[in-house]
Amino acid sequence: MVYSKVLGAGLCLLAVTILAAPPARIGINTAGKRPAQDHDSILPKRPKSEAFTEAIKANEEEYMLLDEPQSSFVDPAELRTHGWAVNTEQSKDSLDIDSLVAGLHGLGVSTTRDQYTEKQVVHKESAQSKADPVALDGPNADHPYASYTQWLDIQQGAMIVDATDLGQGHPSTAHQASTQPLQDHTLQLWEWHDVAYLVWAEACAQHRRHASAMSWLIFINVKSASTLMILQDIFGPHLENLLSGPGMQFSATEEGGEALLGSEIGLLARHFLSSHRQEFGRSNIESVDIFSADSQVVNVRLPVMAFSITKTGSPELGVDLRLGFATDKAANVMTSGVQSGWGSSRYSLEKTINRNGKTWLATEAKYRVYLNRRDEVVVTTLMVSPEQAAALKPNLDKSSPQGTAPTISQWSDFTHQLWRISVQPPSQPWKPTWLFFPLIFDGETLQRLQYDRNSQPIAFPGNTFDGSSEDGRSLLNTPLGRQALHLISNMQNAHDSAKGSIDVIHVYSIRRNWAASSRLATGNVIKMSTRPCVAMHVKWE
């Protein structure tokens, strides 16, 4: 929903009147946890407004978030390519984090001012003439003058977002709303979550932390008209006193929490997690804390909304790769570390192939590559529609006339680039010891595996081949095997002293994980319950 400036200005004035309070220090809970609160004895009992009811309804409509497109950015370097500049210098209007830290301590976030790194993200065209904008590609092209500020504490997994510059609008209509006049210079939800995630991911890579380790998403300077109305419904005349003290926590399952999660800021937080569930894994907001902190925008104390995030699922690979490691029948080279470490230390990126974009990408297909650095695992899938899968040539060395089949070098270059991004710092690279290829569609590889749609699934542990045996060499001579060898060749060029070879090959079947996202490039679904998976062990010398 997009509110008029008149309504927004009026409600912001109302918020200033309600929230103005002495700059008392936020109370600190020395136990590190917020004590249980009896909301019924504190909060006023009165009928709730229509906005409150609508917020609860919006919170229940999960489908509105699950079908949202994923981010179109996959590489932090693309921030610069699409015209965004990241400024790490503190601005004159820097966050008064001293006023905020005490409240965060009350939530169990043991943070200090020194732990936070300020990231100001400003579009590079903002300094140019507004009458002569430069057209850019991507979802952020509609707002070439947008900017926002966030603060990151990688150690505690906390991201603080200044809500001042975030445009209003429901996530489901944010993209359409981004066509509003550029004079507004507001960053819509669609643009914000794309850029905010990449800044977070880049900072995590620099600190050798995975981008999925987010525990707190905190919005300061909350002035959203709809959110303020819901806060008034919840707190009533007690709003000023409660926000000036230690604040109040609401579970995501109680009425007040449901309304807050359905507010504009609540939907923004949920949209951020949902839109990047392939990177974060499935996550839920467990609770939301409401308190206030000194504002650098206006001379009042504005609400702070702190969302506590809990991880509920493994990364959405589209396949349940762990089925093959749920038994003790694995060969000796298959370690339990692959099973135990998966999902907690992954690095996943996705890129839609576009012939008119990167020169090493083809058309109408999608790569998905997942890197599990702790267990040194690379998983790659090629997502295509059934029609495109049928058009894939057995020999991937040559692209099909329609450009639907990626070449070996294209796939290898793409995967190698993602691997290089995950290698931070470059002086301490990691080398993958496992290469997984689930959901195999290549005809030549399937023929070599003697697998077709009528074949019985290859039960785990399946078949094991020595890489130097006749059968092993035969598998390595398939398009799939050549892909793996080409990737290893690229990687060993980055390690002057390392030479890699595939010494063991495992072949078994996996089931499609329908609980994960199954939408393909064209929106179609490949209706197969099992597909062969090839796991290759890489030996480095």
Pairing of strands 346-352, 301-311: unpaired
Domain-located, residue 332: yes
Looking at the structure, tell me whether residues 225 and 374 fall in a common domain. no
Q: What pLDDT tens digit does each residue of the chain (541 aa) get?
A: 333 333 344 444 444 443 433 332 233 333 344 555 667 667 767 778 787 888 887 777 654 444 444 555 556 666 676 667 777 665 545 556 666 776 777 676 766 667 777 777 766 554 443 333 434 444 444 444 556 778 888 877 888 888 876 654 333 333 333 333 333 334 455 567 777 887 887 777 677 666 666 888 999 888 877 788 888 888 876 676 667 667 788 888 888 888 999 888 888 888 788 777 656 766 788 889 988 876 665 666 778 899 998 876 544 433 334 333 322 222 222 232 333 333 323 333 334 433 333 333 333 344 556 666 655 767 665 544 333 334 433 333 333 333 344 455 566 666 776 666 666 555 566 778 878 777 676 677 777 877 655 555 565 557 788 889 988 898 898 878 888 888 888 888 766 667 889 998 888 776 543 323 333 223 333 334 566 778 888 888 8
Both tokens assigned to 290: 């409401």
pTM, two decimals, is 0.54
Domain-located, residue 221: yes
Residue count of the chain, please give it. Answer: 541
Looking at the structure, tell me whether residues 302 and 352 fall in a common domain. no
Please give the radius of gyration of the chain, using alpha carbons only, rounded to the nearest integer.
25
Rounded to whole angstroms, the Cα distance separating 71 from 68 reads 9
Domain-located, residue 122: yes
Both tokens assigned to 216: 């707190």
What stretches of 464-530 show up as alpha helix (H) in DSSP? Answer: 470-476, 479-493
Contact predicate 381/368, CB 8 Å: yes
Contact predicate 332/243, CB 8 Å: no
DSSP 411: H
The strand pairing partners of 369, in sequence order, are 349, 380
Looking at the structure, tell me whether residues 305 and 339 fall in a common domain. no
Looking at the structure, tell me whether residues 328 and 305 fall in a common domain. no
Which residue, 311, 343, 362, sits at the end of a domain?
311
Which residue, 282, 311, 340, sits at the end of a domain?
311
**CA-wise closest residue to 39 among 242, 217, 226:** 242
Looking at the structure, tell me whether residues 283 and 371 fall in a common domain. no
Sort residue 532 into left (φ over 0), alpha (ψ -120 to 50) or beta: beta
Q: Environment class of residue 155 by beta-carbon count within 10 Å: exposed (0-12), middle (13-18) or buried (19+)?
A: middle
Looking at the structure, tell me whether residues 364 and 501 fall in a common domain. yes
Looking at the structure, tell me whether residues 194 and 300 fall in a common domain. yes
Which residue, 264, 288, 311, sits at the end of a domain?
311
Looking at the structure, tell me whether residues 260 and 376 fall in a common domain. no
Helix, strand, coil: what percent of the chain each, to 5? 35, 20, 45
Sign of the C-alpha dihedral, residues 103, 107, 113, 118? Answer: negative
Pairing of strands 301-311, 216-220: antiparallel
Q: Residue 117 half-sphere exposure, CB side, CA atoms within 13 Å?
A: 18
Domain-located, residue 115: yes
| Sheet arrangement for strand 530-540 | 346-352, 366-372, 377-383, 434-437, 530-540, 500-511, 463-466
Looking at the structure, tell me whether residues 338 and 400 fall in a common domain. yes
Q: Can you tell me which residue has the tokens 């919006």? A: 58
Q: Where are the beta strands (DSSP E) in 163-220?
A: 216-220
Three-state secondary-structure class, residue 535: strand
Domains contained in the chain, number: 2
CA 50 to chain centre: 33
Both tokens assigned to 217: 């998403």
Domain-located, residue 406: yes
Domain-located, residue 49: yes
Rounded to whole angstroms, the Cα distance separating 270 from 273 reads 5
pLDDT score at 269: 87
Rounded to whole angstroms, the Cα distance separating 275 from 77 reads 19
**CA-wise closest residue to 173 among 351, 3, 352:** 3
pLDDT score at 307: 93
Instruction: Give the domain extent around 93.
Output: 5-311
Looking at the structure, tell me whether residues 358 and 251 fall in a common domain. no
**CA-wise closest residue to 502 among 445, 450, 434, 442:** 434
Looking at the structure, tell me whether residues 347 and 229 fall in a common domain. no
Looking at the structure, tell me whether residues 291 and 420 fall in a common domain. no
Three-state secondary-structure class, residue 204: helix
Domain-located, residue 410: yes
Pairing of strands 216-220, 158-162: parallel
Rounded to whole angstroms, the Cα distance separating 223 from 9 reads 10
Q: Can you tell me which residue has the tokens 């002293």? A: 497
Domain-located, residue 316: no
Contact predicate 535/505, CB 8 Å: yes
Q: Which helix (H) or strand (E) holds 340?
A: helix 336-341
